Amino acid sequence: MLDRRAFLIALTAASTFASAPSALAADQMAFTQQAFDAAQKAGKPILVEITASWCPTCKAQKQVLGGLLPMPEHKNLAVFEVDFDAQKDVVRAFNAQMQSTLITFKGATEVGRLVGETKADAIKQLLDTTI
């Protein structure tokens, strides 16, 4: 359980990160079915982030991903961001029940899923399933 001071520090860090330019993987983009299908057909490793701008857990995940995605082992990862509020059809197609859902694929095969997880080790392990 977080104490108040740790929570405020985490909240400040998350809001600072959210306002900073993204330093994530070069292949990060908003989800389109065409781009996702092309990445799957090419056999690329894929991360789908189902996120909402108002979600503090999503912001914490973005902060963790900001540190993990630039790592050399994740350089070929295609990262697709799905807006939980604006892309409900896509959210349903991925069978996601809530925002802060991370899903990984090796080509067309889903290889992992986390919901609401913000621990760097767990998220790194999820990303590593695509390698």
pTM listed for this prediction: 0.79
pLDDT in tens, the chain (131 residues): 445 554 445 444 444 444 343 444 447 899 999 999 999 999 999 999 999 999 999 999 999 999 999 999 998 999 999 999 999 999 999 999 999 999 999 989 999 999 999 999 999 999 999 98
Pairing outcome for strands 45-51 and 101-106 = antiparallel
> Taking the CB of residue 104, how many other CB atoms lie within 10 A of it?
21
* Cα gap 99→83, rounded to integer Å: 8
Task: Assess contact for 81 and 51: CB atoms under 8 A.
Answer: yes
pLDDT at position 26: 43
The domains of the chain are located at 4-128
CATH of the domain spanning 4-128: 3.40.30.10
Q: What is the rounded distance in angstroms from the CA atom of residue 85 to the CA atom of residue 74?
A: 28
Euclidean distance between CA atoms 131 and 123, whole angstroms: 14
Query: Considering just the CA atoms, what is the radius of gyration of the chain in Å?
Result: 14
Phi–psi pair at 106, nearest 5 degrees: -110, 100
Question: Could you report how far apart the first and last alpha carbons of the chain are, in Å?
Answer: 33
